[in-house]
Amino acid sequence: MRSLEQDKSDSQVRLTREFNLVLSSTLAVALVFLFVSAVFGDALVQIIEEQEQQSTTRVPVWQRNTMPYQTDGEFSIALELGPYEILPTDNEWNSTHHFVEYSLPLDEGGAAPDGAVISLAVWRPNVPDGVTVPVIAEFGPYFQEASVETPSIEVPGTWLGQMIIDQILPHGFAFAQVSVSGTGRSNHCMDLMGNAEQLGNDAAVRWLAEQNWSNGAVGMIGKSYDGSTPWQAAMFGAEHDYLKTIVPISGLIGVKELMWRNGSAEARAPIMHNGVYGSYGIDGDEEDYQNICPDYILGPGTGVAAYMFGSEVAGDYWSERYFLERVLNNYQGSVYLIQGMHDWNVDPHMAVPTMNALKDAGIDAKGLFGQWDHDYPDRPVQLDDRSEMGGRGGEAFPEMMRYDWMQDLLEWFDFYLRGVGEQPGLYIEIQSNQGSWRLENRYPPSDMTEISYDLGGIMANIGGGTTVFPDANTGPLWQSEPLTEPLYIAGIPRLHVDVTTASLGGQLYALLEDCDDSETCIHIGHAIMDLRYYAGGDEIQTWTPVLETINAKMEFMPLDAEIAAGHTLRLSLLSTGEDYLPASTSSVVFVQEGATSTLLLDTFTPEDRIYFSPPECLHERCVNSM
């Protein structure tokens, strides 16, 4: 019987055979490059400037573990040394501050129509006269906000900005930090990603592209809220083609999509606008009145109404804050999408199957999906602290560490903002829950085999009966026989289950686990559904309680899992779980076992995949975890 390691080892052998043209000469050049730069310093600058269009360290991802990355630091370091120093300014951070004026529709209130400004800071490389450079920008609400203890916007963010300034700016890039509307020194309202914020972001991107020192190409990058603003700016499309690339890291394709899943609401959903971000921009000055905008007033009521009654009760609050459709229809640039598969804050359904939608729309798209949570892919301390055993990322550490990430960003921005180097590979780098990295052309992959497990049949009922009570503590439990061979699951599992309800409502939370022969189980994935949405999608359904059977078509959060031979799959149902609220329409739910109540898994064989190993992490956190 084959083990997981045997399968992966065979794939590695095949990888070596298929890609046996190892770039040994490139490695040699890179090593000499680093040595010479360290010894001769400024003498190398002229050589780099003259040969700027050449690349010395471009290697495919499956060969990066042969390169001399620094793999014991607190974050990743680019291999290539840039020829430019930062342009000095009159402050200690070498930044300049600017206000960008823009117009808002009168119905936005606040500073509309002609008093709105966006606050931003810029760092530039000291390039020769006449040389223009592209701009990499981070847009968000956290710059110069006392509530999150961030300094002035002129100070580089320690979470990302300083690293871009130190490592990528010297290659001929400017960097900008931008406060979204109603935050920092940007006036108007904290609009929570609404129209006013979108227009302000677009105005700032345009301003950056039109400066006389800019080459007209702008890229956006950021995590969380700062990873959502790139999607907003990309919506404007062809008429605003200065936005050439975006790098959303755990960002939102829509605000409602963040907080609702199959109709079920997270605990923060009803209060997201005012309760979570409402204090931003309120600092006691005379402009605080500008925060009283229509959407600021409507936000809490809209959130509560969506929880109570479902969907958009009135107006267009949610549709205004859904970005993906307009990106697919309008955007002409590229997307490098980064997502933690265990992200507890911005769940991975923001990236999966978004990746495939981008590719289907003809957009150049690359993905990096690892088993971290709400974080960057190159921070060993944070990834270790926030990766728990038991199926919450711990099994994939330290292999999840990507010390090649900053080099990866440099190569991406070089190509899409400067036209330098070869086009990066437009594949998805996906890590399984057990730590293995592989490449996929699409995600979920298109060449998988569906396996069906019927409840009460292949999945035997081992306790809890067949009734889900609204107490969130009791419900049925099913388990498979031990697997005869390893199982590789990718994408979005489904649970289609026949139920009747005591009243018009109810909710189901499904937990899928991997259990060994000692009955120790780890989390594989979970799903939740407000039964008012039992058909899937956004349309509320109706049925006759008690008398009518409905088939709830639940979707799990995206996952990538390896289950060893001899292990079993365990499925349990409760009324709620994770950080989701109890159903606003509480009901007892009666589950019907049989051929139409099935767990559906998409599987593949590792021999059909290309596996690779990233540069080995030698940070003390990684070494101590081995």
Q: How many CB atoms lie within 10 A of CB 166?
A: 15
505 neighbors 531 (Cβ within 8 angstroms): yes
Tell me the C-alpha distance between 93 and 476, whole Å.
59
Token look-up 């080099």 returns: 407
Element (H, E) at 306: helix 294-309
Indicate if the pLDDT at residue 528 is higher than 50.
yes
Element (H, E) at 233: helix 229-234
Mean pLDDT of the 302-312 span: 74
Q: What is the pLDDT of residue 40?
A: 40
Q: What is the DSSP letter of 254?
A: B
Q: What is the pLDDT of residue 279?
A: 64
Indicate if the pLDDT at residue 271 is higher than 50.
yes
Q: Looking at the chain, how many residues does it have?
A: 626
Please state which of the ranges 60-74, 151-165, 312-326 shows the lowest mean pLDDT. Answer: 312-326
Q: Please enumerate in sequence order all residues whose Cβ is within 8 A of that of 17, keeping only pairs 6 or more positions apart, or say none.
A: none
Tell me the C-alpha distance between 280 and 300, whole Å.
15
Mean pLDDT of the 280-300 span: 67
For 96-376, CATH gives 3.40.50.1820
Q: What is the pLDDT of residue 36?
A: 36
Please state which of the ranges 73-87, 104-118, 248-262, 292-306 shows the lowest mean pLDDT. Answer: 292-306
Q: What is the pLDDT of residue 173?
A: 98
Phi and psi at residue 207, to the nearest 5°: -60, -45
Q: Residue 235: what residue type?
A: M
Please state which of the ranges 18-27, 47-56, 364-373 shows the lowest mean pLDDT. Answer: 18-27
Given pLDDT bands bounded at 50, 70 and 90, which one contains residue 566?
very high
Is the bond preceding residue 377 a cis peptide, omega within 30 degrees?
A: no
The token duo for 216 is 């007209």
Mean pLDDT of the 254-276 span: 82
Indicate if the pLDDT at residue 278 is higher than 70.
no
Q: What is the pLDDT of residue 538?
A: 82
Mean pLDDT of the 31-45 span: 40
Report domain extents, the chain.
Answer: 96-376, 449-603
The token duo for 9 is 């080892």
Phi and psi at residue 619, to the nearest 5°: -60, 150
Indicate if the pLDDT at residue 450 is higher than 80.
yes
159 neighbors 151 (Cβ within 8 angstroms): no
Tell me the C-alpha distance between 552 and 282, whole Å.
44
Indicate if the pLDDT at residue 51 is higher than 90.
no
Given pLDDT bands bounded at 50, 70 and 90, which one contains residue 240?
confident
Indicate if the pLDDT at residue 412 is higher than 80.
yes
Mean pLDDT of the chain: 88
Q: What is the pLDDT of residue 306?
A: 78
Q: What is the pLDDT of residue 265?
A: 87
Tell me the C-alpha distance between 248 and 149, whole Å.
23
The token duo for 217 is 């190409």
Q: What is the DSSP letter of 493?
A: -
Strands (E), 351-470: 364-370, 428-431, 437-440, 449-455, 460-463, 467-468
Q: What is the pLDDT of residue 312?
A: 57
Indicate if the pLDDT at residue 314 is higher than 80.
no
110 — alpha (psi -120 to 50), left (phi > 0) or beta? left
Given pLDDT bands bounded at 50, 70 and 90, which one contains residue 37?
very low
Please state which of the ranges 406-415, 448-457, 468-477 shows the lowest mean pLDDT. Answer: 468-477
Query: 227 by DSSP, 3-state: which?
Result: helix
Please state which of the ranges 74-78, 469-473, 476-480, 619-623 shows the lowest mean pLDDT. Answer: 469-473
Looking at the chain, the whole-number percentage of residues with pLDDT higher than 90 is 73
Query: 38 by DSSP, 3-state: which?
Result: helix
Q: What is the pLDDT of residue 14?
A: 44
Written as one string, the DSSP assignment of 574-611 is: ES--TTBPPPSS---EEEE-EEEEEEEEEE--GGGSEE
Query: 273 by DSSP, 3-state: which?
Result: helix
Q: How many CB atoms lie within 10 A of CB 50?
A: 10
Q: What is the pLDDT of residue 108?
A: 87
Tell me the pairing of strands 568-574 and 477-479.
antiparallel
Assign domain 449-603 one CATH number from 2.70.150.10, 2.60.120.260, 2.140.10.10, 3.40.50.1820.
Answer: 2.60.120.260
Given pLDDT bands bounded at 50, 70 and 90, which one contains residue 289?
low
